[in-house]
Copies of this chain bind each other. A is one copy, B any other.
């Protein structure tokens, strides 16, 4: 592999100048730069990343650590995230290191990677309250970006959708249709996004003089079709008042609720309206539900590029204030929502 020295020797130009020419510094004559670039291309020169890292202190390597169980949803979510991130970092000429390990070893993996010091930064997904990963990375001053918001604090880089607003708008929309009894089926309590969604849901209800009922708020360990099915049947077959609408943490839960409704002889949307948040995974398409599902939509795939950007800029030392991004989602009205029966 050609090195910078080879170019320098061949052209009779100092190593310094070659380096600076190739790195776009302004203190080299445009003509010399051209010559150098031409030679570099001719000799198929590629900067040795290792050497570069030794002096710059950076490796161009970022990492993500995943649990080997399904996590809160399905492997499809992991895969979607992995795909997006790996290709985004690849575009930026960085290496995306993945480690999948047993949940109980994850902190150990972080420790080892931090110790080895080959990793410029980490991406953290599915943050929980007082996330120990965050604590560890902060302690060692390793840059990271969180997908989602874990804490009430705001001194870290994150990218998130507007979880609060998303349920808030769903509730407003349903109330607008005439609903007053609205259930919410979401994910595990300890996850930040769930907290925010519940708050958005509750605030919206209270804003219209309705008091949220705890029996109508369900927290899944795993946001699956099964959980949607079970929750809906439990909620709908309990004595007394039943909800006329369901808000779902994802489309899988919605699918379970469709099934529950069918099993109970109820129709969507005539008897129950259903609305879900849609991560737009390639496999479960809300539009091909029957009836097509009304959603708040923010494609998971769209988070990859911003996450990569934020992490890169964090590594370069950009101020935190620029690295805290919340994006709006899209509200898509379809046929799973309508006026309540009576």
Contact = CB atoms under 8 A, between A and B. Distances in A.
Interface residues of A, number: 37
Given A50-B50, A79-B79, A83-B100, A118 B95 contact: yes
A337 to B, nearest CB: 31
Interface in A50-73: 50-51, 53-54, 59-61, 63, 68
A180 interface: no
A112 interface: yes
Contacts of A98: 82, 86, 96-98
Interface string A22-53: 00000000000000000000001010111101
A136 B117 CA distance: 31
Nearest to A74: B75
B99 A96 contact: yes
A49 B59 CA distance: 9
Contact of A100 (B54, B82, B118): B82
A324 interface: no
Contacts of A112: 90, 93
B61 A86 contact: no
A149 B44 CA distance: 32
A118 B86 contact: no
A8 to B, nearest CB: 19
Contacts of A117: 1, 46, 48-50
Contacts of A79: 75, 78-79, 100
- With most chain B CB atoms within 10 A of its CB, the pick from A59, A61, A90, A101 is A90
Contacts of A115: 44, 46
A76 interface: yes
B78 A116 contact: no
Number of copies: 2
Interface string A135-175: 00000000000000000000000000000000000000000
A1 B59 CA distance: 15
A17 interface: no
A99 B86 contact: yes
A303 interface: no
A341 B46 CA distance: 67
B82 A118 contact: no
Interface string A114-132: 0111100000000000000
B86 A101 contact: yes
A233 interface: no
A1 B98 CA distance: 24
A78 B76 CA distance: 11
Nearest to A56: B50
Contacts of A19: none
Given A48-B117, A117-B48, A83 B97 contact: no
Interface in A217-258: none
